[in-house]
Amino acid sequence: MSVTTNKRVLAVQTLTANLGYQFQNPQLLEHALTHSSVGEGGGHKAPADNERLEFLGDRVLGLLVADRLIRDYPEADEGKLSARLHSLVDKSACARVGERLGVGDALRLSAGETKTGGRRKAGVIADAVEAILAAVFRDGGLDAARGVFERAWATEFATPAQPAIVNPKSALQEWAQGQGRPLPTYTVVKRTGSDHAPTFTVEAVVNGYEPATATGKSRQEAEKAAAVALLKREGVI
């Protein structure tokens, strides 16, 4: 066993301990940790990546968060529940959860993706977190998934929600105009994943400032996330 392989084995063991769940079928976890870059150019012999599990995990996560919020906030209206739900299921939240769990070091990535810092990319980690939740769901059912979710998202629930921005793109536009700058522009710099579960990486640009990039499951979602990223970095929010 090579040093690199041994390091990853230890990382998977650490991740499993942090999840607090022992898989009956460990291959499901391995599947959830396999990035699409591993199979590039491999044809029909390429290992299955985690995109389908991510698709399922996104729905499992949404259900678990919605159920928790309904129980925690019996008097909250739909608008407040929706805003809080979004803050708990978005890529940023999933990436933070993944970093705390140690997902990055446990990922299966191609050599090229590893060299470009894939183990620390928020989008890659966030996708894997959703896939892991789906793997737990398929391995042990909804109660098992809820147990992992409650442990993994405990810090997110304990952190006060940031004030919601109803329309981040409008907020960025108003700020840019207030700085005497042209309107912000948005460019899709990368699209990955399959047709049924794409991930868009968008760059938001305000003339005179460093661009900000973010990912989303649609171009619109990625643009909003990039606008938020730029506003946060400049201390506007």
Q: What is the DSSP string of 88-120?
A: HHSHHHHHHHHHHHTHHHH-B--HHHHHTTGGG
130 given a catalytic annotation: yes
Active-site residue, from 54, 90, 113, 130: 130
Active-site residue, from 49, 58, 221, 223: 58
Task: For the sheet with 212-216, list strands across it.
Answer: 185-193, 198-205, 212-216
Closest CA to 172 of 162, 163, 183, 161: 183
CA angle, 171 then 177 then 180, to 5°: 150
75 given a catalytic annotation: no
Token pair of 82, please? 């929706």
Rounded CA gap, 24 and 37, in Å?
Answer: 27
CA atoms within 13 Å, Cβ hemisphere of 3:
0
Active site (catalytic) residues: 58, 130
